[in-house]
Amino acid sequence: MNMAERPRLTIYYDFASPFCYIARAIVRQLGEERDLEVTWLPFEVIDYLPPKGAMPQNPAFVRRNEAARARRLAEEYGLTIHLRERLLNSSLALRAVEHARLSAAGTTGADRLHGALFDAFYRDQRDIGDLDVVLAVGAAVGIDDGLEAALRSGTHRERVAASRTEAHALGVVAVPTWLCNGFGIVGIVGFEDYLRLVDARPGSAEAASA
């Protein structure tokens, strides 16, 4: 497969979802088996939370026992995960990644920050809804040029909102949503389903079954 034929996998994500944290581990595993072009796009599921988040946790998340499922999947993919009762206001973290993407750090830097923020929240139990924490995580991975000014001024807020609007236009209503070859998967499914998604060609039966 030449570079022009690399599958382009787009994933809509929100730091507030532990399943998006698990999705990063799945992407790492996919990358070991397939040559992919991966783009993570922000989808702020709840865009009206106070800065420190809110109680209680999503009732549907609790009712469906999704916490237990998240812990089981995290263990399956070798992740340490700590879940919070409070809903996270993910705006700062989402905007920080977009700042990195548009800065000299580019896509590679944005991916470093993306992963570091997920680890900080779910593995290290740090509050990525806090400006100082986001700045510290950014500095640790070399993303600090202009980051504080951008976050304090609200730069990239419209960009994050626009990404959510564009996602809605595509029919995206939940995270993670995986799009490739004109087809999609919502949530966390079996690993083989992701392989079928990225291997299929538009219009193929394999893609339609993903």
The number of domains in the chain is 1
CA distances from 28 to 23, 60, 98 (A): 9, 29, 21
Q: End-to-end distance of the chain based on CA atoms, in angstroms?
A: 21
Determine the angle formed by the axes of helices 91-102 and 106-118, rounding to 10 degrees.
160
Indicate if the pLDDT at residue 210 is higher than 70: no
Average pLDDT over residues 47-69: 74
Q: Write the DSSP symbol of residue 88.
A: P
Average pLDDT over residues 73-88: 93
Give dist(CA 114, CA 128) in Å, integer.
11
Closest to 138 in 3D by CA, of 91, 96, 107: 96
Strands (E), 43-110: none
Structure tokens given for 111:
């991916």
Residue 48: predicted pLDDT: 84
Residue 50: predicted pLDDT: 79
**pTM (two decimals):** 0.91
By residue range, what is the domain housing residue 50?
3-208
Indicate if the pLDDT at residue 204 is higher than 70: no
* pLDDT tens readout for residues 112-163: 999 999 999 999 999 999 999 999 999 999 999 999 999 999 999 999 999 9
Indicate if the pLDDT at residue 205 is higher than 90: no
Task: Please check whether residue 95 is in contact with residue 164, taking contact to mean a CB–CB distance below 8 angstroms.
Answer: no
CATH number, domain containing residue 160: 3.40.30.10
Indicate if the pLDDT at residue 22 is higher than 90: yes
Residue 85: predicted pLDDT: 81
Q: How confident is the model at residue 4 (pLDDT cuts 50, 70, 90)?
A: low
Indicate if the pLDDT at residue 66 is higher than 50: yes
Give dist(CA 205, CA 29) in Å, integer.
24
